[in-house]
Every structure is written in structure tokens, then in C-alpha cells.
């Protein structure tokens, strides 16, 4: 696979940098967008490197000089960081209600204008590094054609107002996006640059432009979801009585296996069993009974159902095109148990049947068909008949020369 995930310390990274085994010192850096976040970020870089900056506003950095034009900030620079805003409309920043407003993307006009101007003054010896937050697909769809004269990497930051300089030196991770997610020379160059001032042992995550965009935006919204959930506990305490919110959140905070650990971070089938779905459904009732005025859990259950329907539609499409029957392996809600309570496989099957096709579960004698692997890491010991299609939402089943294997949720071009 092309995917290369970097999540190991610098001592391991050093062995990979043949040809880049020296620490890069005193690089020539250009920084465009020296505002509330960019100024502090550039000042951190300037402690180790030769930085010049550009901004439309009058900015007075501590340890590097500003230049009057984008042409000047690009001249003779090895790395050019672009840290300009991608703002929402002023009504969408969250200080006032927004749930009643129509959905709206970020405004990318400033980034586009900067990239167009940068492109006039650079060459292939220069690497453009965009750190602005954008939605997945934006770089590939809207930006990359604007910057043909230079090399390009997407590198969004996890920094926050008030702690920018600390966050720059001690980030939770460094996110790097390249065109195909491979460990290009540009990615290595950027990693080597960060080694000059980032805390040793920092985790690096490398993917396609689209994956890097997703890491950044879903990191932020994951936090928002977490905050909304714990604040709901607070509302329940107020409405229900006899509850200290901190007792509940403290118990959850110390649950470092499933809740705050890596468990349940593998996308695949929906959750199931006798607890998860029914608990969310019951909490919908409670939210209504207590008149909280909102219902997170209705959205969670709706998402679970629509996600199952999306998977069913993929199965139906494959079945119609191949004229093969649909078989789901793993009717129970999880591997190696007999219980079907809350089974997401049955839910997917329901939506297949809703579209007029039949579903078979866990056939003892395999037949040529379209198969869905309902359990993670399980192929159920099947010797899939030649010509079958295997839809794997866990992206772990190895390609079989006799069957077509589709890794559901991996849409990288030409990747198997």
C-alpha cells in the first residue's frame, strides 16, 4: 500500500533519512500571513532559521523582518509557508446561533489570491507549505492547479490562541499531506526542518492532501463532539437532580481503554450489541422528557442508520452490475458470539431488502456472490468461489487472485 503512517520517535526516523541525515540549519524561510497565529509560529521558526514575512497589515515581529510584497517574500526562499485565513462569514463563528442558518463552506478567496501571486515568483526549487484549515478535497479540487511552478505540501497546524509558541514546539502531532500520501523527498525535507525545533519524540502523520485535510478538521470537530457530550451530562444534572457532573465525567475521564484510548477508532460497521444502540435510543427519550431542547443521540442514531444504508446501496450496486446474490458474513453483532441484538449486519441487510433484493447470512456452503465482511478481521474461513466480490469495510482482507476485493472506505486512486 502507498499509505505511510509515521508515528514513531525521531531515533527511528533518523534511520530513514539517508541523504537527509544532517540537521538542516539556517534555512531561508518565507512566511505569508503573519497574523494572530502566524506571527508566533514564524517567530518560533526564526529562532533557528532565516525568516522573512509578509502580511497586508502592519506587523512588527520580534525576531525577523517584514517585506512589502509577496514577490519579496518568495525570493530565494527554500520553504514558503502560507498561513492566511479561510474565514467563514461573520455570522458563522459561533458567538451567536448558527443552527438555523444554511450550510456554508469556508471562504477560500484569500488563499487562492495568495497562491496565484506566489506562483508568479517561484520555481521548482521552492516548496510551498499551506497550513490554513480547509475541508477535505479542497486542495485537489480548488488549489493545486493554481500553483504549477513550485512544489506543494499541505501541513495544517494544531495550534491555539494563547499557546501558539508552546504548541509549535510541543504539538500533539505534525500533519503532512502529499499528493499520493507517499514519503516524498519534500515530506522528508519538511520533517527534517521541524526536527530543528520540535520536541523529540513528536508523532508525525503523513497522508494524501485529502487525508491531511480530514485529520485536521475531524480533530477539531471530535473535540466539539466531546465537549457537547460532557456538557449534556451537565444539563442532565441540572434537570434531573442529585447528580454532580464531575463524578460522572471524572469516571469517564479515567476510562482510558475504550473511551479515551485507541479502541473504536477503526471505521467499519456500526456499533451494536445489547447496550450501545438501545442506550442511545433511550437517551433520546430522556432528552425529550427532561426538555433539554436538543438531542445529540437522535443525530447519532440517524447517522448510524444512514451509514448502514450507504453500505447497503454499495452492495446493491455491486449486485446489480455483477448479477450476483448478496451474502453477509457475520450476522451476530460481533465475532465469536451468537447474539444478534443490535446487529449492524442485519441493519445493512434490512436496507438491502428495502431496495428489493434478498440477503443471505453466513452460508455454510459458499456460493459465487457479493460478500460483505461484517466482522473486523474475519473472513470466516471462506474459500470464496472464483468470480466473487468481497466488500471489506475494515480494509484488512488481502487481495485474492480469484475474487475482486473492495476496501470500502479507501478511495485512493489505483490503490489495492
222-238 average pLDDT score: 84
CA–CA dist 271, 334 (Å, integer): 9
In this chain, the answer to whether the domains covering 10-218 and 301-407 adopt an identical fold is: yes
Residues 403/388, Cβ–Cβ less than 8 Å: yes
Mean pLDDT taken over the chain = 87
- Predicted confidence (pLDDT) at residue 378 exceeds the cutoff of 70: no
pLDDT tens by residue, 138-160: 999 999 999 999 999 999 999 88
Distance, CA of 37 to CA of 39 (rounded, Å): 6
Per-residue pLDDT of 270-308, as tens digits, reads 888 877 777 778 778 878 888 999 888 888 888 899 999
**3.20.20.450, 3.40.50.720, 3.40.50.1980, 1.20.810.10: which CATH number matches 301-407?**
3.40.50.720
Residue 21 confidence (pLDDT): 43
Fold for domain 10-218? Answer: Rossmann fold (3.40.50)
pLDDT at residue 222, rounded to an integer: 87
Mean pLDDT calculated for residue range 358-379: 90
Task: State whether the Cα torsion 284-255-334-402 is positive or negative.
Answer: positive
Residue range 353-366, pLDDT digits in tens: 999 999 999 998 99
User: What are the residue ranges spanned by the domains of the chain?
Assistant: 10-218, 301-407
- Report the pLDDT averaged over residues 230-249: 85
Grid look-up 476485493 returns: 405
Q: Distance from CA of residue 31 to its chain's centroid?
A: 26
Rounded to the nearest 5°, which phi and psi values hold at 85?
-70, 150
Q: Is the pLDDT of residue 2 over 50?
A: no
Beta-carbon neighbour count of residue 134 at 10 Å?
Answer: 23
Q: Is the pLDDT of residue 104 over 50?
A: yes
pTM for this one? 0.78
Amino acid at each position: 500500500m502507498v499509505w505511510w503512517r509515521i508515528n514513531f520517535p525521531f531515533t527511528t526516523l533518523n534511520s530513514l533519512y539517508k541523504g537527509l541525515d544532517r540537521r538542516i540549519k539556517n534555512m531561508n524561510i518565507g512566511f505569508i500571513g503573519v497574523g494572530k497565529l502566524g506571527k508566533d509560529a514564524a517567530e518560533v521558526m526564526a529562532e533557528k532559521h532565516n525568516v522573512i514575512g509578509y502580511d497586508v497589515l502592519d506587523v512588527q515581529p520580534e525576531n525577523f523582518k517584514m517585506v512589502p510584497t509577496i514577490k519579496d517574500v518568495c525570493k530565494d526562499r527554500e520553504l514558503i509557508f502560507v498561513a492566511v485565513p479561510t474565514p467563514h462569514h461573520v455570522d458563522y463563528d459561533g458567538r451567536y446561533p448558527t443552527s438555523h442558518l444554511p450550510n456554508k463552506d469556508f471562504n477560500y478567496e484569500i488563499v487562492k489570491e495568495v497562491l496565484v501571486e506566489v506562483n508568479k515568483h517561484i520555481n521548482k526549487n521552492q516548496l510551498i507549505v499551506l497550513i490554513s484549515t480547509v475541508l477535505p478535497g479542497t486542495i485537489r479540487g480548488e488549489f493545486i492547479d493554481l500553483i504549477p511552478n513550485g512544489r506543494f505540501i499541505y501541513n495544517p497546524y494544531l495550534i491555539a490562541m494563547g499557546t501558539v509558541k508552546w504548541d509549535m514546539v510541543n504539538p500533539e502531532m505534525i500533519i503532512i499531506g502529499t499528493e499520493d500520501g507517499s514519503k516524498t523527498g519534500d515530506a522528508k525535507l519538511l520533517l527534517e526542518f521541524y526536527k530543528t525545533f520540535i520536541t523529540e519524540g513528536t508523532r508525525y502523520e503523513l497522508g494524501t492532501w485529502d487525508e491531511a485535510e480530514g485529520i485536521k478538521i475531524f480533530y477539531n470537530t471530535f473535540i466539539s463532539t466531546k465537549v457537547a457530550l460532557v456538557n449534556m451530562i451537565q444539563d442532565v444534572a441540572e434537570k434531573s437532580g442529585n447528580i454532580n457532573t464531575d463524578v460522572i465525567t471524572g469516571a469517564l475521564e479515567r476510562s482510558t481503554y475504550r473511551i479515551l484510548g485507541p479502541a473504536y477508532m477503526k471505521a467499519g460497521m456500526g456499533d451494536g450489541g445489547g447496550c450501545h444502540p438501545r442506550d442511545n435510543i433511550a437517551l433520546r427519550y430522556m432528552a425529550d422528557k427532561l426538555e433539554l431542547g436538543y438531542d445529540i443521540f437522535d443525530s447519532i442514531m440517524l447517522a448510524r442508520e444512514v451509514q448502514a444504508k450507504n453500505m447497503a446501496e454499495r452492495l446493491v450496486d455491486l449486485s446489480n452490475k455483477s448479477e450476483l446474490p448478496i451474502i453477509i458474513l457475520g450476522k451476530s453483532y460481533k465475532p465469536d458470539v451468537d447474539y444478534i441484538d443490535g446487529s449492524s449486519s442485519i441493519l445493512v441487510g434490512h436496507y438491502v431488502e428495502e431496495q428489493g433484493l434478498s440477503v443471505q447470512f453466513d452460508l455454510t456452503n459458499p456460493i459465487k456472490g457479493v460478500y460483505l465482511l461484517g466482522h473486523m478481521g474475519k473472513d470466516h474461513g471462506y474459500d470464496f468461489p472464483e468470480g466473487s466480490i468481497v466488500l471489506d469495510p475494515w480494509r484488512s482482507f488481502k487481495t485474492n487472485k480469484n475474487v475482486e476485493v473492495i476496501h470500502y472506505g479507501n478511495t485512493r486512486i489505483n490503490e489495492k
